[in-house]
Amino acid sequence: MFWLGGTVSHSDFDVLAELPDHLTWGSLHLEVQRRHGKPVHIEPAPVGLGQDVTGLWLEKAEQSWIFHAAGESELLRRHVILHEYGHILLMHGGCELTLGNAFAHIGGSRRIKTLLGRSSTWTAQEIAAENAATRLAARLTRRVDPLLEVF
């Protein structure tokens, strides 16, 4: 399959298809944490993240953080979070992002396992995470008619 000029594997779709039918922001966050096996904290990005980066997933052995660009619209903030959830659910690893000195002070001494950032560079992992974000957003916007829930 092709998406945004790249390929997406069928296993990417399988991972997201296994999510519960009725998703809310809260239930999706809990499901991401459950599958990830550790807490995931969502915070505004530290100053100096860089203009090109709108989101970042930082993983350590005991917990992860999703950072989003501070001051952005609620819609972009949610999309960035969904994009980073995509990386987590698709079990992406490694650093595809060059951050310059923005995080130079944390380095290897802080036991960082994964550092992935959302930027304008379209690698295979970024394409898959963007596709996941779009699919997750579609799942979250599905509304069930309350009258039909009765039946």
132-147 pLDDT per residue, tens: 999 999 888 876 555 5
Q: For residue 14, which phi and psi values (nearest 5 degrees)?
A: -60, -40
Is pLDDT of 42 > 60?
A: yes
Among candidates 130, 136, 128, which has minimal Cα distance to 12?
128
d(CA 69, CA 55): 6
Per-residue pLDDT at 4: 34
48-63 pLDDT per residue, tens: 666 667 788 888 999 9
Is pLDDT of 126 > 60?
A: yes
Q: Rounded to two decimals, what is the model's pTM?
A: 0.73
d(CA 49, CA 65): 14
d(CA 87, CA 70): 20
